[in-house]
Amino acid sequence: MFLVPFLGFSQDSLSLSKAIEIGLQKNYDIRLTQKNVEINSLFNNWGEAGRLPQLNVNLGQNNSISDQRKNPISFAPFLFQSNDVSGNIAMNWTIFNGFGVKANKIKLEQLQLQSENTATLAVENTIHGIILAYYQSKMQMEQLKLLENIVKLTSEKYAQQLIKSNIGVGVKFDLLQYEGNLYTDSSNKYLQELNFKNSVRNLNLIMGEEVEKNWILSSDIKPELTKKDLAVLKKEMLSNNTNIKNQFINIALTQQDISIAKSQFYPVINFSGGLNSSFGQLSTNDANSPIRKAGSRNLNYYGNFTLNFKIYDGGKVKRGIKALQIQNEVDQLQMAQMTEQLNFELTNAFELYQTRIKIFDLTQKAFLVSKNNLEIAKLKEQSGLINSFNFRDIEMAFLTSGVALYQASYDLLESNATLLKMSGKIIQNN
């Protein structure tokens, strides 16, 4: 309820799982990659690869006038009008092109798989981003709560000191000290409110929601202190990491390009068949013409086979194949480089996770100590055993330890999410 004054009243409850569910439906990166999957799925068929024949139909209507009346060598010196309709149906079919059709189909399948992996990568990045943004918002909210408690405590101390000053038993110096602290703490609270609002806007942006939408964040910041094994994580990463999967596909695509290029060394056999037909009429209005109107009809069928074999092209195909083979070696090197880099990053992330577990445990203990110390300091300050400066130091120590605890919790959650993402298990675990 302490958030109501500056967030308004129209808020929905939002758990982490619900945030992920919304993000999977509305995130723009996911929606864009899904459209790419649809495009590549559409093109992944035998017709696009070149196996199926092509069939064309053409129709034409032609009109002409031939005036032979002043042609002294014409056998028919008359004015003729000609009208005809022609049409043809033609089929072209590549029967064999050096196994290029099969290679094209395999490449289309690989392109579809690559787009699906890219979509999976977008899902992983979105889930990872929502987890971090959600817990960042939650952390900012909890830190705001700490600051509000500090403001409340400082306000109470200032009110008590004001009463003492009014009845003549208080020290003016202490009153001014508490008043200054109240201004400082209130300013920090307003800044923290802004940090919280900005973090929620960032969460909405990643989810694909309205940027200004407000939420009641219902999931707690509760790190899972699970034991992890680096060797198992590396094995899972090499098997499941989407970036590695995509690099394997890049290698396979280059190998298919080599197969397609090599198909040019084989003969190409094509078949073309169809029919041509025309219907026409020749007419004249000349009374001297022996024929006033005549019709004609032609119908032709054909079926032809062609064999095309490339003998020499100046070495162009061979150079293209050599370049693709070099590109394949580049892809292999990039795979090795990527694997080494990911192993390096995974090792660093794992060790950071182990370190953050220790820091989280220590900050928990430090927070409990500072909390107990603050309770004792309240009693001592009321009894006059400590002055306002001592109390302020203890109060700030409590605030610092609380902020450190929430930061340590967030850091541990961030490390865990990163390890899940790198090992390719973030989708299954969420």
Helix and strand counts by DSSP (H, E) for the chain: 10, 6
The pLDDT assigned to 61 comes to 86
What is the overall mean pLDDT for the chain? 88
Across the range 339-362, mean pLDDT stands at 95
What confidence tens digit (pLDDT) does each residue in 1-49 have? 334 444 444 578 999 999 999 999 999 999 999 999 999 999 999 999 9
DSSP 8-state assignment for residue 218? -
Kindly tell me if the per-residue pLDDT of 325 is higher than 50. Answer: yes
Query: What is the structure's pLDDT at 9?
Result: 45
pTM over 0.85: no
pLDDT exceeds cutoff 90 at 282? no
Whole-number pLDDT of residue 170: 59
Percent residues over pLDDT 90 in the chain = 64
Query: Comparing 30-39, 285-294, 360-369, which segment has the lowest mean pLDDT?
Result: 285-294
For position 7, what pLDDT does the model report? 43
Give one word for 288, left, alpha or beta, with left for phi > 0 and alpha for psi -120 to 50. alpha
pLDDT reading at 233 higher than 90: yes
Q: Per-residue pLDDT averaged across 180-190, rounded?
A: 93
Give the right CATH number for 4-55+98-267+315-422 from 1.20.1600.10, 3.90.45.10, 3.40.718.10, 3.30.1490.20.
1.20.1600.10
Q: 66 or 302, which is more confident?
A: 302
Q: Calculate mean pLDDT across residues 179-206.
A: 94
101-137 per-position pLDDT tens digit: 999 999 999 999 999 999 999 999 999 999 999 999 9
> What's the pLDDT at 169?
58
Which of 4-18, 62-76, 311-325, 382-396 has maximum average pLDDT?
A: 311-325
Residue with tokens 């010196």: 77
Q: Does residue 99 surpass a pLDDT of 90?
A: no
Domain-by-domain residue ranges, the chain?
Answer: 4-55+98-267+315-422
pLDDT > 70: percent of the chain? 94
Long-range contacts of 425-430 (CB under 8 A, 24+ apart): 425/236, 425/240, 426/124, 426/127, 426/128, 427/120, 427/123, 427/124, 427/127, 430/17, 430/20, 430/127, 430/131
Confidence (pLDDT) at 326: 96
| Whether the Cβ atoms of residue 419 and residue 227 lie closer than 8 Å to each other | no
Least confident of 41-50, 137-146, 201-210, 310-319: 310-319
- If DSSP codes are grouped into helix, strand and coil, which group holds residue 268? strand
Question: How many of the other CB atoms lie within 10 Å of CB of 388?
Answer: 19
**Amino acid 171: pLDDT:** 67
The C-alpha R_g of the chain, in whole angstroms, comes to 40
Q: Residue 15 and residue 134: Cα distance in Å, rounded?
A: 9
The span from the CA of 176 to the CA of 195, in Å, is: 29
